[in-house]
Structure 1
């Protein structure tokens, strides 16, 4: 499978989620691409359990859904015959391609597209994996049905998604920020977004409707490294796209107070090896029926 040119694979006309396309090809995607190491420090704690759940074999062809900067894609490629990462974000895929080339991984492919509607070759993958890349589909049942069609019969699915926001250490930091600047209610149930699969019953219902069986949802915890010290962690948080969006109309003096409050809150998690917060997730495994 050869790399598909970015200019020909995804645009607002062939994605089911225009809002996500615009975000990941705008500031948000560029921020993730420019801070690849920082975001990997947040999320790499989930890599080992995710890949263990995927039970990769050297003969497998692997699909990485929402691959971003490609960390999981590259790890999968080292365990399998072929790994294909799909994502909406051109800036992140540019970074993923460059890193795969630098690491001499010619059997890694990157495709720009929306996994909900992308025209995968039927039954062409043995395994589909995702690290925080499946929560934003406009229609989750349609998306996972499309992914199921890309898997061979008996093909395996493994992904990691967040539990409810109030179970995260990050919630304490956000609570401190919200005392000085308004933030949305991140604990509210939603059909799409970071916490859209916080309810295991919804996970099971979506996957069952999409043609998966043997669905297992297991709690999983890992540490996220937010920065070298509380000030560094706070600076990174306030450069994050959603935070910039939420605070765009807040007076600068209030934003500065919120930043100071976040720095103080991060202090509770400071260690000799950086600012470390607990992330509570679900590890999901299923099989194409």
Structure 2
């Protein structure tokens, strides 16, 4: 099973309900504190695996532009409900270099081919 399939359909909805239901969870502020020193107000940032947008929402408050990439449709929907820009696949991203910073929190362990994924993010 592909990683994206694991977070799709009924499985994805179950994951979102169990793990992603509260984008205002104070724990996101703790995670965000790790990224904060690396961000500038002029940055354009991608949150790879942004989930429900809990960290992306905080990033968006301090940078020029913040976008997310999330394959779980239910989690992405929660993020979009907060007026966040969230893409659902690499193909949906523009193929021109535009991000100053790419962040990711607790995502790579869910990715089947980490090297290939990192190469796509870097491109």
TM-score range, shorter chain: 0.7 to 0.9
Q: What's 2:104 paired with?
A: 130
Could you tell me how far apart the structure 2 residues matched to 1:144 and 1:118 are?
17
The verdict on how the C-alpha distance between 1:78 and 1:59 changes in structure 2, with shifts beyond 3 A counting, is same
| Higher-RCO chain (CA-CA 8 Å, sequence separation at least 6) | 2
Residue 127 of structure 1 deviates from its aligned partner by 0.4
Q: Counterpart of 2:40?
A: 57
Q: Secondary structure of the residue that 1:34 maps to in structure 2? A: helix
Task: Structure 1 unaligned segments of length 5 or more: list them.
Answer: 1-17, 102-107, 150-289
1:80 match = 63
1:32 and 1:39 in contact (8 A); partners too: no
Please give the secondary structure, in 1, of the residue aligned with 2:108.
coil
Name the SS of the counterpart of 2:86 in structure 1.
strand
Cα root mean square deviation, aligned = 2.5
Query: Does 2:101 match 1:139?
Result: no
Q: CA 1:66 to 1:118, structure 2 compared with 1: closer, same or farther past 3 Å?
A: same
TM-score of the pair, normalised by structure 2? 0.81
Q: Does the Cα contact within 8 Å between 2:76 and 2:86 map onto a contact in 1?
A: yes
Question: Gapped runs of 5+ residues in structure 2?
Answer: none
Does structure 2 retain, via aligned residues, the 8 Å contact 1:64–1:129? yes
3-state secondary structure, aligned to 2:2: helix
The higher radius of gyration belongs to: 1
Say whether residues 1:68 and 2:42 are aligned partners: no
Greater strand fraction, Structure 1 or Structure 2: 1
1:80 to 1:140, Cα distance in 2 relative to 1, 3 A = same
Say which SS state the counterpart of residue 37 (structure 1) adopts: coil
Alignment of 1:84-95 (within 5 A): 84-95=67-78
SS at match of 2:35: helix
Assess, with a 3 A threshold, how the Cα gap between structure 1 residues 44 and 23 changes in structure 2: closer, same or farther. farther
In 1, the alpha carbon distance for the partners of 2:34 and 2:80 equals: 24
In the alignment, structure 1 residue 110 sits paired with structure 2 residue 86 = yes
8 Å Cα contact 1:65-1:134 kept in structure 2:
no
* TM-score under structure 1 length normalisation: 0.38
Is 1:23 paired with 2:6?
yes
